[in-house]
Amino acid sequence: ISQCGRRDCAVKPCQSDEVPDGIKSVSYKYSEEANSLIEECEQAERLGAVDESLSEETQKAVLQWTKHDDSSDNFCEADDIQSPDAEYVDLLLNPERYTGYKGPDAWKIWNVIYEENCFKPQTIKRPLNPLASGQGKSEENTFYSWLEGLCVEKRAFYRLISGLHASINVHLSARYLLQDTWLEKKWGHNVTEFQQRFDGILTKGEGPRRLKNLYFLYLIELRALSKVVPFFERPDFQLFTGNKIQDAENKMLLLEILHEIKSFPLHFDENSFFAGDKKEANKLKEDFRLHFRNISRIMDCVGCLKCRLWGKLQTQGLGTALKILFSEKLIANMPESGPSYEFHLTRQEIVSLFNAFGRISTSVKELENFRKLLQNIH
């Protein structure tokens, strides 16, 4: 239902001349027709700054990437970057914050995500579901008894979705529109909004569970980043912005962050996932992947453009993290140089992976800020 006409829901796209040539050139290469146009331009005007930094093997690999984009390892539906409707967006100009998009339309999105994709029968009611009536303590007990009876993979799936939902709510509470006048707009922490979503008493014990799931999501994404270090360490991996010096500095900083993450004493072991009967495990893994792909499609139904942008970005980031966790052997077997056909991350996946981790990290930091604010109140 695309009826959100609020100013704060709008997304400001980049003009074509604001997009770095390196990014545009790489995205063009997904299309054979555009690829030939780029070659003509490079011959005529020598606009090949990005191509000069590519090895011949990597240029050939580009043709293989589109094949891999549709592989069975992907957990998200990726948007077509060649679509005439596609736009480049500067995320710094479109920060995630409260937009006023709430109520039944917003609840429907999350309700469908939980009801259709978390392996839950309709007879089991979720606690504090705003679209359900007459909920009581017995229904809460029934829900968590049902959840504990699930296998570890299905429990983890629910916790990841709950953690993502909680993280987004933390962002909205931390960047709430506190003042809106013709002189200025003031954004900041809304303690009351935070309490309504997470306070143990106000949420009848549900809020603390949500926050535990947020930390679970953080550990999952942290684990994925530690696993994918070899992919980014390969000399063939480059960050293309059109500025070679900046690209080299960015890669150095990226590897520095990843090695810092790898040094963290991880408390999550994904090897317990899909470890049972091989046939059943493969079936469960496929269900897991299809459910998550469906969630990424549901995000297209969000009526607020800015909420949709950040919802899709964080969903795809989590999907990319799952893809990494279930590709450990493929990552270990990557060649040291040359194209990697078995395991590859697209630009969209890389952007969403790090931005999603940035968002969940921000949530963890904001929880500390809210604790301090609440202590001052009490």
Query: pLDDT tens digits, residue range 313-357?
Result: 999 999 999 888 888 888 888 887 777 777 888 888 999 999 999
Residues whose CB is less than 8 angstroms from the CB of residue 34 and which lie 6 or more positions away in sequence, other chains included: 28, 82
* Model confidence band, residue 6 (pLDDT cutoffs 50, 70, 90): low
Q: Is 134 left (phi over 0), alpha (psi -120 to 50) or beta?
A: left
117-126, 130-139, 163-172, 363-372: least confidently modelled range: 130-139
How confident is the model at residue 378, as a pLDDT? 66
14 is catalytic: no
Look at the alpha carbons of 127, 133, 136, 141 in this order and tell me if their dihedral is positive or negative: negative
Mean pLDDT of 19-40: 50
Measured distance CA(32)–CA(28) in Å, rounded: 8
* Model confidence band, residue 306 (pLDDT cutoffs 50, 70, 90): confident
DSSP conformation class of 13: B
Tell me the average pLDDT of the chain: 79
* Alpha helices, DSSP H, located in 70-198: 104-117, 137-148, 152-174, 191-198
pTM (two decimals): 0.81
- Number of helices (H), then strands (E), in the chain: 14, 2
1-5, 129-133, 163-167, 255-259: least confidently modelled range: 1-5
Mean pLDDT of 117-122: 85
Comparing 135 with 168, which gets the higher pLDDT? Answer: 168
**Is 187 annotated in some ligand binding site?**
no
How confident is the model at residue 46, as a pLDDT? 36
Of the residues 4, 9, 76, 307, which is catalytic? 307
pLDDT tens digits for range 209-226: 999 999 999 999 999 999
Q: How many CB atoms lie within 10 A of CB 44?
A: 8
Task: Please report, to the nearest 10 degrees, the dihedral formed by the alpha carbons of residues 303, 307, 310, 314 taken in order.
Answer: -80
C-alpha distances out from residue 171 to 61, 211, 247, 336, Å? 38, 13, 30, 39
118 is catalytic: no
Q: Is the pLDDT of residue 366 over 60?
A: yes
Q: Scan for tokens 């999350």, then name that residue.
A: 110
33: part of which helix (H) or strand (E)?
Answer: helix 32-45
220: part of which helix (H) or strand (E)?
Answer: helix 206-227
Measured distance CA(325)–CA(223) in Å, rounded: 8
Comparing 143 with 13, which gets the higher pLDDT? Answer: 143
**Is 162 annotated in some ligand binding site?**
yes
**Is 165 annotated in some ligand binding site?**
yes
**Is 293 annotated in some ligand binding site?**
no
Measured distance CA(76)–CA(290) in Å, rounded: 9
Nearest C-alpha neighbor of 231 from the set 358, 327, 318, 352: 327
Domain ranges of the chain: 91-129+138-376
Of the residues 4, 9, 118, 304, which is catalytic? 304
